[in-house]
């Protein structure tokens, strides 16, 4: 697997607001789908983690997002996800939504591991899978 995970997303009518531009919350859904597919590609199905790891799941702990340019209905977008840092109970991602070479939205996301409503350390296997594809900023 390359260090940058990509997911193609087509913009549908349901993703837009009354002006015909992509509604801001739709970008969050696009990025969530990309994070889920990244987990799958790493062999970390969320349902399996929830069942096999005693109720482990991931939550967005923090997100900084920069909306630069709008997308429109029928645009074909790419969501890029890069694992930047892995720590004991969380990992940091950079995500970008592009249309061709044009950057539309960028986000920095911190994902935390939770079990029973409380933070927990990432299992060693999970941490190692993220670390194997991590590209620290500036590297």
**Over the range 63-72, which residues count as b (16 or more CB within 10 Å of their CB) and which as e?**
eeeeeeebbe
Domain count, the chain: 1
Residue 52, CB-side half-sphere exposure with 13 Å CA sphere? 9
36: in domain: yes
Cα separation, 34 vs 108, whole angstroms: 14
Residue 45 pLDDT class (50, 70, 90 cuts): confident
Residue 49 pLDDT class (50, 70, 90 cuts): confident
17 is catalytic: yes
Tokens for 25? 């919350």
139: in domain: no
**Phi/psi at 86 (nearest 5 deg)?**
-125, 125
Q: 15, 17, 75, 94: which one is catalytic?
A: 17
Q: Residue 85 maps to which CATH number?
A: 3.10.129.10
8: in domain: yes
Residue 90 pLDDT class (50, 70, 90 cuts): very high
E strands present in the chain: 4-10, 56-67, 76-86, 90-99, 102-115, 118-119
pLDDT for residue 46 is more than 90: no
138: in domain: no
Per-residue pLDDT tens digits for 2-31: 689 999 999 999 999 999 999 999 999 999
Whether the full predicted model's pTM is greater than 0.85, yes or no, is yes
- Considering only CA atoms, which of 96, 82, 87 is closest in space to residue 134? 82
Average pLDDT, the chain: 93
Range of the domain at 92: 4-133
The pLDDT of 40-46, averaged and rounded, is 90
């Amino acid at each position: 697997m390359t260090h940058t995970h990509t997911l193609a997303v087509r913009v549908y009518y349901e993703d837009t607001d009354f002006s015909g531009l992509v509604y801001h919350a739709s970008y969050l859904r696009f990025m969530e789908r990309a994070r889920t597919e990244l987990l799958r590609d790493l062999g970390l199905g969320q349902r399996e983690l929830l069942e096999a790891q005693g109720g482990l799941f991931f939550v967005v702990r923090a997100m900084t997002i920069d909306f630069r340019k709008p997308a429109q209905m029928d645009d074909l977008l790419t969501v890029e996800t890069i694992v930047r840092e892995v720590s004991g109970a969380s990992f940091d991602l950079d995500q970008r939504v592009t249309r061709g070479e044009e950057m539309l939205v960028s986000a920095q996301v911190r994902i935390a591991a939770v079990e029973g409503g409380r933070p927990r350390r990432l299992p060693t296997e999970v941490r190692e899978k993220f670390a194997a594809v991590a590209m620290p900023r500036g590297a």
